[in-house]
Amino acid sequence: MWVGGAWPTPLDSVTRVLPACWRLHAAAKWKPSFHRQVTVPSRGYAPQIRELSSSRTEALRRSIPLRAQLEPESNERGSKPTAAKRAPRTSRRKVTGLKAARSSKTAVAKATAQSDGVQHSTEAAERSPLDNEAAVGNRKALVIVESPAKARTIQKFLPPNYIVESCMGHVRDLPQTARQVPAELKEHAWARLGVDVEDSFRPLYVVPENRRETVERLREQLTQANELVLATDEDREGEAISWHLVELLQPQVPVRRAVFHEITEDAIQEAFQSFRDIDMNLVHAQETRRILDRLAGYTLSPLLWKKIAPGLSAGRVQSVALAMIVERELERLRFRSAQYWSILAQLRIEHVQGTESPILEAELVRIGEARLAIGKDFDGRTGKLREDVQSENTNGRVKVIWLDEPTANRLAAEAQSAPPGSFRIVSIERRQVTRTPPLAFTTSTLQQEASRRLRVTTLQVMRAAQSLYEGGYITYMRTDSPQLSMQATEAARRAAAERFGAEQAVPAQAAPRKTSKKPKGAQEAHEAIRPAGRAFTPPEALSLEPLEKRLYELIYYRTLASEMQPAKLRQTTLTIEGPKEMLFRASGTEVEFPGWLLAYEALRRVHEHVSESGSAASVNEDSALDEQGLLPRDVHLSEGDSLTAVAVDPVLHETKAPARYTEASLVKELETNGVGRPSTYVSIIETLLERSYVIRKGSSGSASSLVPTLTAFVVVRFLQHHFPNFVDVRFTSEMEAALDLIARGEADRIAYLQQYYCGESGLAAAVRAKSDTIDVNEARRVYLPALEGDAAAPEVTGEAKTTAADGERKEWPKPLVYVGPYGPYVVYGEKVSLPREISAEQVTLDTLRRLAEQRKCAAELGVDPQTGMHVYLRTGPYGPYVQLGEDPGSMASHTSTEKSAAPSTDDAAPTDKQLDSAREASPGTSARSTRRARGTGTSARAPHEKPKRVSLPSWLDPARVDLELALRLLSLPRIVGEHPATGEIIRAGYGRLGPYLLYQDKFTSLSKYEPGGASDPLFIDLETAVHILDTAKTSKSRSRSTKSKTSDAAEEANGASSESADAAPTENDQLKAPPRRGTAPRTRSRKTSG
């Protein structure tokens, strides 16, 4: 059963209800029966409590409102309190200034006077609680919000006795690591999940380490307050934060819930006059989503670690978004472009005299009865005309012409050589078009429009919007409703009339604008995003950060545009007859009445001004009032007018593959399909980026494309094959709809969780069944169209198709691409590591063949004379590197067959720890000298040990690397020599901060010197090193012994330069997937450029 203010808690009598649930929650002998409390100490006293059945608890929850629990006195046997009993409690609320009395104001004034011994007037009782400081007296109220910025803004609108504090967001959550689980609960099987799936999905809540100090601070301040006001955001997350605060703080004072959608003085006044209870439906909805996400991620992710690679993750919504991105990329890979030609003619109007006769541009559209093929007529999978288009050319009659280059050149020449006046206007079509104004912003449309116009990421958009909201400049930024309140509608129309003219704005007396269009699953709990206040502040009157200023401008003008008149445009289309039955067409658009386009024109000009000032990039995609088309202005045209060709040119066109998703377009697609909610879009995209499932490519900000990595292909294929519902858009959309029903209290959340996770068809059973049957080699295999005979990838249940053989191909086996624990690699005669962030379109037969040839032909540099081991130059996931010794299980033993090419847990790169284990230098000895001392001339390590590898500095061309230079790299950090004055050793190497000298426990940076020059660690001599030490300022000593300092320096250089692997999950960290290393580890080459 629910506790802590959620459901009424029964006493020993089922008809008796506890009045203040959180007070009893603090009882020394009472442990909550639903939510496991592991971080809040029990204190105080409470009567004996016994549990009821879940069915009886449900009946209590539905029959007794939460407000009954807020009353400071309990009601015996459920009897209704009399008016006499209620009056003092109402008066106390009035005195504290926390809520306007619901009864007669006169009666409240009298009750207040009687309880305080002071005669107050009726007028005083009618004042706002925030203004009635005399009534408040010395009483204090603690107001809790999420962020410090929001707290500072709200504090300005409240009296001094209202103390506004920040809780810094969520104060409790499910455990993130096994270490956060109490020792007494770790023995339970469900402890790994943090949710007791065997007992009504009870969540285990803990206070994160970085929130404990905040909770203690709030608890201390609450002891000095007479009331607690929870003013967190009015959404699921905000409601959950308020509920968790009550659970943790266990207030012994009245608790009020204040909600507002904008942080202005009027809004705060209104919120503090109309408190409400915590909405437990919203709390249940947030908790259900959190539990679902935990069950999905913590059940599937370990299977991905086991079958593919550590650090991978699956999510209820993120996996669907990833599948969308991968499917779009597969469309691009299967796409076959087609080339076609068109003809553009520059035509002069004959009846207009003058030195500069107007010119119009027309395009050839038909030849006789046949039309010219355009881009949409081609099939992207074949690069030819679609079958339905080809079917139009039947019975020897050609209705669609695919214009090639010779034909286009011939037709252009014929049109160019036609006599003057050979072109004639045969028809003019004019029609008026009305463009309705856009709706005010929702969270989704704000992310899309701001990302597209401002060239920033959705994360940057929401951070700026959050800052604007907390500063009191805009309304709440998480909403799916485009509707404006009546107050906002009036303010928008008034501002539009003042700025653009009364005729351009919707009349003030007109009815509010309504729309039937709304996103799938929209709740419309809040109004649209708009400037805050009863009157909108113009952008030029605000002093904000550049991005915040531009975002406010966008919101301001969009809100004004939504309450302006529709734009009226006139479209004119000319049909022009030319020689040889050629038919041309020209069109243009004129603005007759701008209406809302004036707002967008003003926005465009503001952004152009910002771009010229150099403070931000600008986008000029909506020249709202620029007349579109190719018709000359102020020229009267009529049917029969003659024209003469000035220039006729053939133009080549090529069909384009479907565009990759940008952040803006992905948000739009998710919203269209009802996947996720506005508050989750940013976190979805950021998770995909952090996990290295996708990378940004192209221009900066949101305009950059989201490109899936090879890891994304493997994960999506794995989920589609074994857990198809998990990446199915329709299934996820239906899940969101079910969660919305739970949020409205119309569905049983426990039953839904049972259906989703438990039972024979639940997720847990499916994972258990698949765990032992999934083949690791098949799971790690990457199927790409370019490697499968340039055809679509095989069915997930079928075998790989063989490629067409030719004379050259016979010399090479079929390339097999895998993603292993250490990143992607290909087996193509040789096993070759691939860059982690390589895109699928870069994985071609030519690329793979070149990599294999490089490894086969140019790998061996020679033999180390000290150890007798071979030295190799190779390319790994993080670039070129040198290697001393053979790989365990050398590739010479591999054949080109698919069986021998199967990946193992030892594929690609080793871990840093494995590489470092054999090369720790003793005091006063270099790493290389230690290695040579161990060397026997045959082998310096056991056959199963990983070889030493060192990355090349960024300035070093692999073509320049010979055996001598490779041995220098392998010797780092090396001994330069002994200082002539002290006799102490000077060492040189590469560290995380760049090249350095180490002398007398002090580091001296070499970053300011030329990479690869005489001062580089590879080449520096003793004289140069002594000179640098004598003239440069060294860094502070790190207070370590010479022995540990030398060892750490060797570890830093060697460990940083080696290819690293993802750490496998351990028992202590089984709750949390290890972070995916999507970027290259710190190597000694990253800082060498200085």
**CATH number of the domain where residue 464 is located:** 1.10.290.10
- pLDDT class for 837, splitting at 50, 70, 90? confident
Global pTM reads 0.69
What pLDDT score does 87 carry?
Answer: 34
Judge whether residue 800 has pLDDT over 70: no
Judge whether residue 385 has pLDDT over 70: yes
For residues 691 and 745, state if they share a domain. Answer: yes
Give the Å distances, CA to CA, from 252 to 43, 108, 183, 1057.
12, 24, 31, 59
Among candidate residues 550, 565, 580, the one where a domain is terminated = 565
What mean pLDDT is predicted for residues 828-841? 81
- pLDDT class for 407, splitting at 50, 70, 90? very high
Q: What is the mean pLDDT of the chain?
A: 74
User: Which residue in the block uniquely carries the two structure tokens 């009635």?
Assistant: 132
Give the Å distances, CA to CA, from 832 to 299, 530, 727, 880.
33, 55, 31, 12
What pLDDT score does 341 carry?
Answer: 95
Contacts of 579 (CB under 8 A, 6+ apart): 414, 415, 418, 422
What pLDDT score does 352 carry?
Answer: 65
- pLDDT class for 536, splitting at 50, 70, 90? very high
Among candidate residues 80, 113, 141, the one where a domain is terminated = 80
For residue 820, list its beta bridge partners. Answer: 823
Judge whether residue 133 has pLDDT over 70: no
For residues 459 and 551, state if they share a domain. Answer: yes
What pLDDT score does 685 carry?
Answer: 92
- pLDDT class for 803, splitting at 50, 70, 90? very low
For residues 90 and 33, state if they share a domain. Answer: no
Peptide bond just before 973 cis, omega within 30 deg = yes
- pLDDT class for 699, splitting at 50, 70, 90? low
Candidate ranges 8-22, 343-357, 676-690; pick with highest mean pLDDT: 676-690
What pLDDT score does 379 carry?
Answer: 92
User: Is there a domain that residue 605 lies in?
Assistant: no
pLDDT per position as a tens digit, 271-312? 999 999 999 988 988 899 899 999 999 999 999 999 999 889
CB neighbourhood size of 408 (10 A) = 20
DSSP 163: E
User: Is there a domain that residue 1051 lies in?
Assistant: no
User: Is there a domain that residue 1022 lies in?
Assistant: no
pLDDT per position as a tens digit, 316-326? 889 999 999 99
Q: Strands, DSSP E only, in 770-888?
A: 781-782, 816-820, 823-828, 830-833, 860-863, 870-876, 879-884
Judge whether residue 797 has pLDDT over 60: no
User: Which residue in the block uniquely carries the two structure tokens 């996708």?
Assistant: 694
Contacts of 42 (CB under 8 A, 6+ apart): 26, 27, 28, 29, 30, 31
Question: What end-to-end distance do the CA atoms of the chain give, in Å?
Answer: 62
Judge whether residue 428 has pLDDT over 90: yes
Judge whether residue 172 has pLDDT over 90: yes
How many domains would you assign to the chain?
A: 4
Rounded Cα gap, residues 830 and 639, in angstroms: 72
pLDDT per position as a tens digit, 594-643? 999 999 999 888 877 654 444 444 334 444 555 555 577 667 788 888 99
Strand 141-145 versus strand 227-230 pairing type: parallel
- pLDDT class for 431, splitting at 50, 70, 90? very high
3-state secondary structure of 280: helix
More confident residue, 1057 or 408: 408
For residues 544 and 450, state if they share a domain. Answer: yes
User: Is there a domain that residue 25 lies in?
Assistant: yes
What pLDDT score does 811 carry?
Answer: 52
User: Is there a domain that residue 119 lies in?
Assistant: yes
For residues 33 and 111, state if they share a domain. Answer: no
For residues 448 and 560, state if they share a domain. Answer: yes
For residue 331 the two structure tokens come to: 């469309």
Degrees (nearest 5) of the Cα angle 992, 998, 1003?
A: 60
What pLDDT score does 1047 carry?
Answer: 43
More confident residue, 479 or 67: 479
Judge whether residue 474 has pLDDT over 90: yes
For residues 106 and 72, state if they share a domain. Answer: no
Q: Which domain holds residue 693?
A: 287-332+676-780
What mean pLDDT is predicted for residues 466-473? 92
Contacts of 572 (CB under 8 A, 6+ apart): 428, 429, 430, 587, 588, 589, 590, 629, 631
For residues 455 and 528, state if they share a domain. Answer: yes
Rounded Cα gap, residues 573 and 589, in angstroms: 9
What pLDDT score does 94 carry?
Answer: 30
Give the Å distances, CA to CA, from 275 to 21, 129, 145, 622, 703.
19, 12, 15, 44, 43
DSSP 503: G
Judge whether residue 137 has pLDDT over 50: yes
Which residues form the catalytic set?
476
Judge whether residue 698 has pLDDT over 50: yes
For residues 486 and 546, state if they share a domain. Answer: yes
User: Is there a domain that residue 317 lies in?
Assistant: yes
For residue 36 the two structure tokens come to: 């496991």
- Specify the range with the lowest mean pLDDT, choosing from 202-216, 381-395, 630-644: 630-644
The CATH number of whichever domain residue 762 belongs to comes to 1.10.460.10
Judge whether residue 1064 has pLDDT over 70: no
For a pLDDT cut of 70, what percent of the chain falls above it?
Answer: 69
For residue 469, list its beta bridge partners. Answer: none
User: Is there a domain that residue 229 lies in?
Assistant: no
Contact between 580 and 414 under an 8 Å Cβ cutoff? The reply is yes
What pLDDT score does 1089 carry?
Answer: 34
Sign of the torsion formed by the C-alpha atoms of 602, 605, 611 and 613: negative
What mean pLDDT is predicted for residues 18-42? 36
For residues 36 and 117, state if they share a domain. Answer: no
For residues 553 and 449, state if they share a domain. Answer: yes
Q: What share of the chain is helix, strand, coil (3-state, %, to 5)?
A: 40, 15, 45
- Specify the range with the lowest mean pLDDT, choosing from 107-116, 148-157, 709-718, 997-1006: 107-116
pLDDT per position as a tens digit, 561-603? 999 999 999 999 999 999 989 999 999 888 999 999 999 999 8
Query: Which of 891, 892, 894, 948 lies closest to 917 in space, CA to CA?
Result: 948
What pLDDT score does 493 carry?
Answer: 94
What mean pLDDT is predicted for residues 1078-1085? 36
Q: Is 621 exposed, middle or buried (0-12, 13-18, 19+ CB in 10 A)?
A: exposed
CB neighbourhood size of 196 (10 A) = 18
- φ, ψ of residue 185 in degrees (nearest 5): -105, -10
Rounded Cα gap, residues 683 and 289, in angstroms: 14
Rounded Cα gap, residues 871 and 478, in angstroms: 58
- pLDDT class for 1073, splitting at 50, 70, 90? very low
What pLDDT score does 653 carry?
Answer: 95
What mean pLDDT is predicted for residues 981-987? 90
For residues 40 and 113, state if they share a domain. Answer: no
* Chain-centroid distance, C-alpha 1070: 25
What mean pLDDT is predicted for residues 888-898? 42
For residue 359, list its beta bridge partners. Answer: 348
Judge whether residue 186 has pLDDT over 90: no
3-state secondary structure of 702: helix
Query: Which of 278, 205, 184, 302 lies closest to 1074 in space, CA to CA?
Result: 302
Judge whether residue 101 has pLDDT over 60: no
Rounded Cα gap, residues 454 and 620, in angstroms: 10
Among candidate residues 531, 565, 599, the one where a domain is terminated = 565
User: Is there a domain that residue 458 lies in?
Assistant: yes
Query: Which of 450, 517, 890 lies closest to 672 in space, CA to CA?
Result: 517
DSSP 209: G
Contacts of 895 (CB under 8 A, 6+ apart): 901
In which element (H, E) is residue 966 found?
helix 963-971
What pLDDT score does 54 carry?
Answer: 39
For a pLDDT cut of 90, what percent of the chain falls above it?
Answer: 33
- pLDDT class for 823, splitting at 50, 70, 90? confident
Q: Can you list the pairs that 670-673 forms with residues at least 24 positions away whose Cβ atoms lie under 8 Å?
A: 670/321, 670/324, 671/444, 671/519, 671/520, 672/519, 672/520, 673/520, 673/729, 673/733
What mean pLDDT is predicted for residues 54-76? 36
Amino acid at 512: P
What mean pLDDT is predicted for residues 825-848? 83
Contact between 77 and 13 under an 8 Å Cβ cutoff? The reply is yes
- pLDDT class for 354, splitting at 50, 70, 90? low
